[in-house]
C-alpha cells in the first residue's frame, strides 16, 4: 500500500484561497504539487459545495480527533 502525507493546515489554507480566487481543483493541485484526486477528496469530505470550503472548518475535526486521543492517553 502506498504511503501518503496528510494535508497540512497551510496547504488547506492555500486550497481555500485559490478556490476563493476561482481556480480549478487541477490548478490548485498543480500549485501544491499534489494529486488532483487528493484535492478533490479534501473538498468532498469537508463541504457540499466547494465554494464554501474553508481550511479552519476542514481542520477542526482533525484537531478534535487528536484531543480525544490525547485525553484518552492521559486517563490511562
**Residue 68 is assigned to a structural domain of this protein:** yes
**What's the number of domains the chain is made of?**
1
**Residue 69 is assigned to a structural domain of this protein:** yes
* 3-state SS, residue 1: coil
**Residue 3 is assigned to a structural domain of this protein:** no
Instruction: Report which of residues 49 and 73 the model is more confident about.
Output: 49
SS (H, E, C) 12-55: HHHHHHHHHCCCCHHHHHHHHCCCHHHHHHHHHHHCCCHHHCCH
- Tell me the three cell numbers of residue 4: 501518503
**Residue 70 is assigned to a structural domain of this protein:** yes
pLDDT digits (tens, 9 = 90+) for 47-62: 656 666 767 666 665 5
Q: How far, in Å, CA of 61 to CA of 1, rounded?
A: 25
**Residue 48 is assigned to a structural domain of this protein:** yes
Looking at the predicted structure, is the pLDDT value of residue 10 above 80? yes
> What pLDDT is attached to residue 71?
46
**Residue 52 is assigned to a structural domain of this protein:** yes
For residue 13, the enclosing domain spans 9-75
Amino acid at each position: 500500500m502506498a504511503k501518503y502525507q496528510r494535508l497540512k493546515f497551510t496547504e488547506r489554507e492555500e486550497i481555500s484561497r485559490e478556490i476563493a480566487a476561482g481556480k480549478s481543483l487541477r490548478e490548485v493541485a498543480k500549485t501544491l504539487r499534489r494529486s488532483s484526486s487528493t484535492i478533490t477528496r479534501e473538498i468532498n469530505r469537508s463541504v457540499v459545495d466547494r465554494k464554501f470550503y474553508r481550511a479552519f472548518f476542514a481542520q477542526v475535526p482533525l484537531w478534535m480527533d487528536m484531543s480525544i486521543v490525547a485525553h484518552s492517553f492521559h486517563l490511562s
